[in-house]
Structure 1
Amino acid sequence: MKHTSDYWMHVSLILQQFDGLVAGYQASLLPHRNLSSFDLYLLNSAGDIEDLANLYPQPGMRRSFKPEAPLEFTDCSALITLLPKSADLFAGHTTWTDYYSMNRIYKHYSLPLTGAAAVN
């Protein structure tokens, strides 16, 4: 795939990472428990789908989004800090929902990417 910009190169890297998650999942489970890439995309979209459904309702759906009250639909907080000279990036996240929906995985990524989009 020819990349026309650093931005699209990084989009491609994210999609390749997702393809790897799909391949790993499909390789590790029994055939009758297989999920498609679309199924896994929906599972990874939890928390975002509700916001998109409110912004882009289908015909016949009741619209519950109220532009005058955007805070009613927030359910998380995040803090992202970039150290001087882009030495490191720290991110923290919390979800204001029930305990069962908490992300219980600590993630540490080291991505030695280059290009303008990697440092901006």
Structure 2
Amino acid sequence: MAAATGTALAGKHVLVVEDEFLVAIDIEAELHENGARVTCAGTLAIAEACAKRERFDAAILDVNLHGKVSYPVADILRQEHVPFVFHTGQGEKRTLSERYPGVEVCNKPCDGTALVSVLGRVLADENAA
């Protein structure tokens, strides 16, 4: 699976939206190990600005950012046809699957390796479609 993940992520620009610093660092390190270029955003305002300003190949979105939901960022990414996965500890899987059908949801705690593996699979599936 690691080879497939590395292949899917190599050279890709990935947005990581995460307000917990240590979690963001873990995810960023895993993405770098798989050849991705990473932009991190720790607040909703920064994440929205990045999503509007830059072109991404994929994204990992924490749902709750200091009490604000990342839905505006997800909406921008969806409009731009950028695949993403949600990374959440809030248990909103049902709400997320209703609002964003087909989008993968990884519940915290989920280590960076597993999360990046899911993102790699999403990208590989997107490229195969």
TM-score range relative to shorter protein: under 0.3
In our comparison, the structure showing a higher alpha carbon Rg is 1
TM-score normalised by the chain length of structure 2: 0.27
The structure with higher relative contact order (CA 8 Å, sep 6+) is: 2
The structure carrying a bigger strand percent of its residues is: 2
